[in-house]
Amino acid sequence: MAPAPSPGGGGAGKAVLWAAVGAVVASAAWAAGVFLVGHSSSGGGDLRGYSAPSNLCSSADYSGFKGEYPEEDTAPSHTSLKSDALDEGFCSLSLKKTGSTIADAYLSLQMDLHKKTDPAPEFTATWKNYGDSHTGYDVQSVEGIGDEAYLVTQDTTSGTNTGSRYGTLAVREGSMTFTMSYSAYLSSYDEDKDPPTISEVSGWLKSDTRATLENLKD
C-alpha cells in the first residue's frame, strides 16, 4: 500500500493555511471594530482630524517591515464603511521575503472613527486587560502614541521552526481607534525558518503605526 500523503505539505498546503489565517485576522479585526462602537451617545465625535479613506491600504506605511519582507503585495484586500455613527477602514497585506511566491506573514490594519459614541471605556477594557481573557499573551502600555496604546504579543515558537509569532498595537486618540497586527505561522514545510523576533516586530509596529496615523490626518 502506498504511504498516505503528508497533510498540508507543499506550496498548495501553505497557501490554504495562509488563506485561513488571513480570514481569521480579518474576522477578528472586524469584530473588534464592532465591539468598540460602544453604547453611550455622549463623548463621541472627537476625531482629532482623522479621516477613514475608502482604501486604507493606500495610506498604510509599513516601511519597517519591508526590510524583512521586500516583495510587494500586488493585490492587498481592503474594505470600508461610511455611516452617520461610524467610519471604518480595513486593510490586509501579505508579507513576502525575497523569492517567496506566497505569504510568509500577514499584516492587517483597521481604523474606526466613532462619530457618536465614546470608545475609551471599551477600548481600555479590551486591550489593557487582553492578557486576562487570552492565555499566553503579553500586554504592555505604550507611551507617546495617541491618548493610550497597548502592545499585545505572543510567541509560541520556543526556539523551534514551528508555532506562531503575533503582535498587535492598538491605539486610541480621541474617538479614533486603530490597530496594526502582524502574524506569522511556522510549520515543518514552511520555507521561512527565520522569522523576525517579537522585539523586532514590536519596534516596526510602533514606527509604522506612527507613520500611518500621520498619513490618515486631514
Evaluate whether 52 touches 58 at the Cβ level (below 8 Å): no
Can you tell me the distance from the alpha carbon of 83 to that of 182, in angstroms, rounded to the nearest whole number?
28
Q: Which CATH class is domain 10-215?
A: alpha beta
Can you tell me the distance from the alpha carbon of 154 to that of 74, in angstroms, rounded to the nearest whole number?
28
Per-residue pLDDT, 158: 81
Q: Helix, strand, or coil here: 193? A: coil
Ordered per-residue pLDDT tens for the chain, 218 residues: 333 333 333 444 444 344 444 444 444 443 444 443 343 344 567 999 999 999 999 999 999 999 999 999 999 999 999 999 999 999 999 999 998 888 999 999 999 999 999 999 999 999 999 999 999 999 999 999 999 999 999 999 887 778 899 999 999 999 999 999 999 998 766 666 688 999 999 999 999 999 999 999 98
Question: Which residue(s) pair with 184 in the sheet?
Answer: 165
The domains of the chain are located at 10-215
- Nearest-CA neighbor of 206 among 158, 156, 140? 140
Q: Helix, strand, or coil here: 141? A: strand
Per-residue pLDDT, 175: 97
List helix spans (H) across the chain.
Answer: 10-35, 63-66, 120-128, 130-133, 198-215
Q: What is the largest CA-CA distance in the chain?
A: 70
Task: For the sheet with 148-155, list strands across it.
Answer: 77-82, 86-95, 105-114, 176-186, 163-173, 148-155, 138-141
Phi, psi of 56 (to 5 degrees): -65, -30
Per-residue pLDDT, 45: 79
Question: Is the pTM of the predicted complex or chain greater than 0.75?
Answer: yes
